Amino acid sequence: MKKVLFATTALVMTAGVAAAEVAVTGTGRMGVIYDGNDAQFSSRIRAIFTMTGESDAGLSFGGSIRADNSQDGNRGTAGSVWVSGTYGKLEMGDAVSASESAVGDLPAVGYTDGGFAGDLEEISYLTGDGENLDQGPNILYTYTINNISLFASASDGSDRAWFTTTGDNDNVECTYDPVTGELIDCSTVSTDDTAWSVGANYEAENFTVGLGYAKSGDAEEIVLGGNTTFAGVKLSAVYADYQDRNSISFGGDDATGNFVDDLTLTSDNFELGKTWGLGAEWQQDALRVAAFYRRDELRVTDAGAALDLDDRDFDSFGVGADYDLGGGAVVSGGIVDSDWLNDTVADMGVKFKF
């Protein structure tokens, strides 16, 4: 399969010559998702616009947006723009937090890259990603010195319209039964807490370690993680400790049993205390096999203790495999079992890069 890249280049004459480029790429997929009860077809196609340029003085700048996210890109909650130079890179929009930049997530599985199970391989960072905890656009600064990278990020948490930058503050929050874990009710809420994060990592030849801290309102997180490669297997680990956090965000089943991609679970009786996970990836020629294990530990609050409730743990496990057909086509499948979901779920299909 021949990969085709469409690009247009504009030359602007000033004191020197500055070049700008707009490239159109894309992704696609087609396959089947099993939700524990029924199988259904799942397909999508996305066009991605990536724009880059350079000033006369050598300052690089650019941005990227998916065509289907063009409206949210106008509000700053999808896509991102950046400038980069001698003193680092500054990115604004749907940018990850400093903690996530420094530490990362566990390996994704499945042809939907974990989406069929609510992206449970992704650690629920306190801030960043534009949608997490509904904080609106994010700003991320990155500076690298030799093998050390430093990160700082923030979100203003504003829920006020400011010209076209309104943010994205509506979010689905659901309460669940403290004994059975079944979801009871869901509602749409907003938050305007200012959130910020700092982080750093060190990258050596065969291992990386990272540390991050974040704060959003009264909630705080400290995240530590790293990865190493041993005998052809990449091993990763993440540990997150939270304070005063009574919600956790990812995909999951809502109170009606329907899957919600950006679900936020809340409870007056519990707060998220710790999340930790392990991952492994093995690559041999065209074949890749990956797996992850994650545990979310919920602590009983004073209100929960008054009801004689106990601390609870939620375990999630996923495994998947990919086979690269070449030219941008990959056959992929995965299976995930989680205490956050009603059933074991799976997917299989072909994904493409153009």
Asked whether 332 and 351 are in contact (CB, 8 A), the reply is: yes
- Taking only Cα atoms into account, the Rg of the chain, rounded to an integer number of angstroms, comes to 21
Any idea which residue has 């566990």 for tokens? Answer: 106
DSSP 179: T
Among 117-131, 180-194, 272-286, 309-323, the range scoring the smallest mean pLDDT is 180-194
What tokens does 173 get?
């929050």
Q: How confident is the model at residue 343 (pLDDT cuts 50, 70, 90)?
A: confident
For residue 255, pLDDT beyond 60: no
Domains and CATH numbers, the chain: 86-353 (2.40.160.10)
For residue 249, pLDDT beyond 80: no
User: Is 4 strand, coil or helix?
Assistant: coil
pLDDT value at position 190?
53
β-bridge mates for residue 249, sequence order:
264
Q: What is the C-alpha separation between 67 and 79, in angstroms, rounded? A: 10
Give the count of beta carbons closer than 10 Å to the beta carbon of residue 335. Answer: 18
In this structure, the chain runs to a length of 354
DSSP 133: G
Q: What is the dihedral of CA 301, 305, 307, 308, to 10 degrees?
A: 140
Asked whether 234 and 227 are in contact (CB, 8 A), the reply is: yes
Which residues are CB-contacts of 329 (< 8 A; sequence separation ≥ 6)? 1, 350, 351, 352
Task: Give the closest residue to 18 by CA, choosing from 62, 63, 57.
Answer: 57
Q: How far apart are the first and last CA of the chain?
A: 10
β-bridge mates for residue 196, sequence order:
154, 215
pLDDT over 90 percentage in the chain = 53
For residue 74, pLDDT beyond 80: no
List, in sequence order, the alpha helices (H) in 260-312: 302-306
What tokens does 147 get?
């093998």
278-307 pLDDT tens trace: 999 999 999 999 999 999 998 888 887 888
**Residue 342's Cα: distance from chain center in Å?**
22
